[in-house]
Amino acid sequence: MSKQEVILSEDLAGSLKQAIDRCPHDRLFILTDEHTSRLCMPRLREIGCLSDMNEIVIGAGDIHKTLDTLASVWKRLSDSGATRHSLLLNLGGGMITDLGGFAAATFKRGFPYINIPTTLLAMVDASVGGKTGINFNGLKNEIGVFAPASAVLIDTCFLRSLDRRNLVSGYAEMLKHGLISTESHWAELLRFDTEQVDYDGLRELVGRSVQVKEDIVGQDPFEHGIRKALNLGHTVGHAFESLALEKNRPVLHGYAVAWGMVCELYLSHIMTGFPAGKMRQTVQFIKENYSAFYLDCKQYETLYGLMLHDKKNTAGIINFTLLEDIGRICINRTAGKETIFEMFDFYRECMGL
C-alpha cells in the first residue's frame, strides 16, 4: 500500500492546490454531506483551483454510510462522466472519508482521492491510514478496502465550528493514541479541558495524535500485526455502535470507542496487569466527558453476538487489543464469554448504570 501524504496545513488553499496539481485529472468531484456542504463548502468555493468541481451531496450521519448511498455516489460519478483519470475530494467527517474513499477506490476499478477532514474524529483517525468502507447488514464497517488517499489535508480551523459532542467524539481516538504511545502523551490528554477549548493547544495535540497513527500504519499497513494496536476499545465499541443502530438510537463513533475502552481496560487489568490507578484515571475522564450508553444484562447476549462478527476475529474467536501498561500493547488476546459478561458488569457499575 502506497504511503499517503498527511499535511497539517496552515494555508488550506495553497496546500490543496499543490495536492491537486500532483494528481492530474480530467474531472474534479467533491463529496460532502448536508452539514459540511452548508458549513464548510463556502470556504472551498473561494479557492480558484476548485472552480470547475462537481459537488455530490449525501445525507449526514452514520445512518447514511450504506450500500444505497454508495450506489448513489457511483451513479452521480457515472452520470457526470467520471473516468479512471478523475479526482475526488472528500470534505467532511469520518463517514464521508470512509464512504468517499471506498467509492473512489472501486469506481472504474479506482481513481485518486484527497481527504479534507472537517471533524476531529476524521482528522486523527478516519481520514488517515487508508481504511475505507461502509456499514452493512447491521454491522460497522463490514465492507471496505485498504486504499490510501493521495493526500490528507488537515486544517484545524474547521474545528472551531464543531459542537462539543463531535469534538469529544474525536478526542476519544486521541485518548486511545495516548494509551498506546507514551505516558506523557496520555497524561497531557487527560489534562486537556474539553469544556474551555484551547484551539492552539488542540492543534498541537492533533499533530502528535496523527503522528502516532502514521507511525503504526507505516509499520503495518494491512493490519497483520502492530496496527491492531489501533483497535483498542473498538471490539466492544463497534458492538455498542451496532446495537445502537439496531435500536434506532445511533451514537457517535468516538463515544462508542470511549465506552469500549472502559470495557477493554478492565480486561487489560485482569488479564495483562494494566495498573488499576491508570485504569481508574482513564475511566473517570471518560465518565466525565462521555455520559454512558444504557445497558442491562438482557443485552449481554446481543452484544456478545455482535462482537462475534468483528473483522479482527479468527475462526469465531473474539480478538481484543489489550495493554500491559501505557504503550505496552498486547494484540490478539482472547477472553471467554463469562469474562466478557463480567466486563459488561464492570462497565455498568463504574458508569453508574
Q: Angle, nearest 10°, between helix axes 183-191 and 164-179? A: 160
Phi-psi region of 92 (alpha: psi -120 to 50; beta: other; left: phi over 0): left
173 is catalytic: yes
**Contact yes or no for 15/7 (Cβ under 8 A):** yes
Q: What is the pTM of this model?
A: 0.93
Per-residue pLDDT of the chain (353 residues; tens, 9 = 90+): 556 789 999 899 999 999 999 999 999 999 999 999 999 999 998 888 888 899 999 999 989 999 999 999 999 999 999 999 999 999 999 999 999 999 999 999 999 999 999 999 999 999 999 999 999 998 888 999 999 999 999 999 999 989 999 999 999 999 999 999 999 999 999 999 999 999 999 999 999 999 999 999 999 999 999 999 999 999 999 999 999 988 888 899 999 999 999 999 999 999 999 999 999 999 999 999 999 999 999 999 999 999 998 877 877 789 999 999 999 999 999 999 999 999 999 999 999 88
CATH architecture of the domain formed by 5-161: 3-Layer(aba) Sandwich (3.40)
Cα distance between residue 145 and residue 83, in whole Å: 20
Task: Write out the residue limits of the CATH 1.20.1090.10 domain(s) in the chain.
Answer: 164-350
Beta partners for residue 88, in sequence order: 29, 113
DSSP state of 258: H
Choice among 65, 76, 177, 213 that is catalytic: 213
The pLDDT value given to residue 313:
80
**Contact yes or no for 154/6 (Cβ under 8 A):** yes
Instruction: Tell me the H-state helices in the chain.
Output: 12-21, 34-39, 41-45, 67-79, 94-106, 120-121, 164-179, 183-191, 199-219, 234-246, 253-272, 276-290, 300-307, 337-350
The pLDDT value given to residue 352:
87
The pLDDT value given to residue 106:
98
Residues 6+ apart with CB under 8 A from 208: 177, 185
43 is catalytic: no
Cα distance between residue 148 and residue 101, in whole Å: 8
The pLDDT value given to residue 3:
67
Residue listed under C-alpha cell 494528481: 23
238 is catalytic: yes
The pLDDT value given to residue 249:
87
- Cell representation of residue 310: 468483528
Which of 203, 176, 197, 195 has the alpha carbon at shortest distance from 327?
Answer: 176
64 is catalytic: no
231 is catalytic: yes
The pLDDT value given to residue 2:
58
Choice among 65, 140, 176, 238 that is catalytic: 238
Residues 6+ apart with CB under 8 A from 207: 8
27 is catalytic: no
The pLDDT value given to residue 52:
87
228 is catalytic: no
Give the 3-state secondary structure of residue 9.
coil
Cα distance between residue 257 and residue 255, in whole Å: 5
Task: Write out the residue limits of the CATH 3.40.50.1970 domain(s) in the chain.
Answer: 5-161
Choice among 173, 177, 241, 319 that is catalytic: 173
Beta partners for residue 55, in sequence order: 30
223 is catalytic: yes
Phi-psi region of 291 (alpha: psi -120 to 50; beta: other; left: phi over 0): left
Give the 3-state secondary structure of residue 90.
strand
Which of 7, 3, 24, 25 has the alpha carbon at shortest distance from 16?
Answer: 7
Which of 263, 264, 275, 285 has the alpha carbon at shortest distance from 190?
Answer: 285
CATH architecture of the domain formed by 164-350: Up-down Bundle (1.20)
What are the C-alpha distances in Å from 348 to residues 140, 242, 256, 277?
Answer: 23, 18, 14, 19
